[in-house]
Amino acid sequence: MTALNVGTDIPSQIDTVEKLAAWCGAVLFAVNSTMTVVEGVGYTERPAQHNNFWVAADSKTRNITRLSLEVSPEHLSGSGKPWTFIQPLSNTAIPATFKAN
């Protein structure tokens, strides 16, 4: 798992859920950029993808983050919140560049 200390690892400039989601996508992409996971028969993909894309239709740049996270089988009978059943991708530490403002 990529361990996280909420008090020290998340930059203080992250003050919305949207910024946090983009930060998480960027971290997971950075530490797992060469990993692939099986998403279907004969189909593999990166578990985390993250980048900015220009959308000509509305002349805006959009951050698009895609995650493919394994869910524990216990989610079918467990009583926890949905995110408590998400399995780790790797044991890679968060790079220092992601912890600073």
Q: How many CB atoms lie within 10 A of CB 79?
A: 6
Give the pLDDT score at 78: 84
Rounded mean pLDDT of 35-58?
96
Q: Is the pLDDT of residue 61 over 80?
A: yes
List the structure tokens of 28. Answer: 């997971």
**For the whole model, what pTM was predicted?**
0.87
Q: What is the mean pLDDT of the chain?
A: 94
Q: Is the pLDDT of residue 95 over 80?
A: yes
Give the pLDDT score at 26: 96
Q: Is the pLDDT of residue 54 over 80?
A: yes
Please work out, in degrees rounded to the nearest 5, the angle formed at the alpha carbon of residue 30 by the alpha carbons of 92 and 100: 85
**Nearest partner of 67 among 19, 15, 16, 32, judged by Cα:** 32
Which residues, in sequence order, are bridge partners of residue 51? 64
Distance from C-alpha of 20 to C-alpha of 4, rounded to nearest angstrom: 13
Instruction: Read off the DSSP letter of residue 86.
Output: B
Element spanning 26, H or E: helix 17-31
Give the pLDDT score at 99: 95
